[in-house]
Amino acid sequence: MQPLSTPVCEPVSAPAPVRDCPAAFPVNGAKTATMTRIRVAVLAVACLGLGMLDLLGSTARAQAWPVRSVKLVVPSSPGGATDTLSRALSTRLPEIWGQAVIVENRPGANQIIGGDYVSKAAPDGYTLLVSDAATFVINPFLYKSLPYDPIGGFAPVTQLVQVPWVIGVNAAGVAARTIPELIALAKAKPGSLSWGTFGNGSSAHIGLEWFKRLAGVDIVHVPYKGSAPAAAALLTGEISMMMVTPLVLEQHVRSGRLRLIAAATEHRLPLLPNLPTVGEQGVPGYVVGTWFGMLAPAGTPAEVVSKIAADVAKVMNEPAFREQNITGQWLIPVASTPQEFALFLRRDYEYWKKLVETSGVKLD
């Protein structure tokens, strides 16, 4: 572009209208372009300012939370493993948050009542759900409909622990010491063996039915209202076997009244290195267990979710807390990030969908 002092139009007696000049010399266009650049710059600064304000707001919300007590909702009865871990966390988290943490049990309908309650709570981080896998990845395939969205209705906070399972038999009543021996015994006398679980539609029930299909055996299912009464029945010989966390059977295995024949895990348990997995013993791919997770209602601010997850991990990584409340209870610590837990949830959802469909278990 030529300097402004250099004429572009041919000299005439009167100044030519701007529209008669070639487009290469935009007399008003230069001013317009300049103003446009100024407006863009102003908008950019404004957007940057808004972004900074939003970031500062998010940081402020995370720093301010919590300003009142936090509720941990457990969708099962007091005394269970989920409840026990929740209460252990409720004694330590107040030291970090400066607010009380209250455990509230809302059992019923295979954990649907508690799950529904939290999914409809205010998404502010003050109502959290601590539950096992059934609420999110099993119930959707057992029932025609649920009052909550098992995935979209929650904001994953952290997967707390994995809960490994082992298969134990009554030592006096069952001669089998391995899975192949158990299968052979079941095939020789169809229907003579019984397998106790902690309820119809429970993950243990689904695991049993899946095992029966994979192994091609007929074993009678006997449901109980919890793992404790099922273990008591196993001790008396009322049932032949059950699959549960080692914690429930440990004392009686040491006394010789019960015998462990396999771990229902992908790999051998570090504390039971001589106990082979079901997969190692001729039933490949058989992995069944559960996990405990903490979730908030969908829509809870991401910065609050991240703070909760980080603080829970801090507690769970304390050696004394871990020994007493996690590894000492035969649980495997995880303490994942919200992002890791979200990915795990979706994978496990598909895994249990396959298991439930294969097992044929339905509750309605």
* Range(s) of the domain holding residue 72: 68-158+295-359
Residue 103 maps to which CATH number? 3.40.190.150
215 domain-assigned: yes
Tens of pLDDT, residues 309-351: 999 999 999 999 999 999 999 999 999 999 999 999 999 999 9
Domain co-membership, 60 together with 84: no
The Cα 164–Cα 160 span in angstroms is: 13
Is there a domain that residue 201 lies in?
A: yes
Establish if 92 belongs to a structural domain.
yes
Last residue of a domain, one of 248, 281, 314: 281
pLDDT at res. 24 = 37
In this structure, is residue 288 part of a structural domain? no
Token pair in block for residue 350: 């598909």
User: In the prediction, which pLDDT does 75 show?
Assistant: 96
pLDDT, position 222: 98
The CA distance from 221 to 201, in Å, is 11
Segments of the chain scoring below 50 in pLDDT: 1-27, 55-56
Q: Do both 308 and 238 map to the same domain?
A: no
What pLDDT does 226 receive? 86
Both 96 and 125 in one domain: the answer is yes
* Amino acid 364: pLDDT: 78
Total structural domains in the chain?
3
The contacts of residue 170 (CB under 8 Å, 6+ apart) are: 234, 235, 237, 239, 240, 241, 257, 258, 259
Residue 95 lies inside a defined structural domain of this protein: yes
| Same domain, residue pair 245 and 323 | no
Same domain, 189 and 207: yes
CA–CA–CA angle 348, 313, 317 (5° rounding): 115
Are both 178 and 264 inside the same structural domain? yes
The verdict on residue 114 lying in a domain is: yes
Asked if residue 266 and residue 171 are part of one domain, the reply reads yes
Residue 177 to residues 74, 149, 183, 192, 281, Cα–Cα distance (Å): 37, 43, 11, 17, 11
In the chain, which residue ranges form alpha helices assigned H by DSSP? 27-64, 81-97, 112-119, 139-142, 179-188, 203-215, 227-236, 246-255, 302-316, 319-325, 338-359
- Which pair of structure tokens corresponds to residue 351? 């895994």
Q: What is the pLDDT of residue 31?
A: 56
4 and 58 together in one domain? yes
Question: 170 and 268: one domain?
Answer: yes
Q: What is the DSSP-derived secondary structure letter of residue 277? A: B
What DSSP character marks residue 17?
A: P
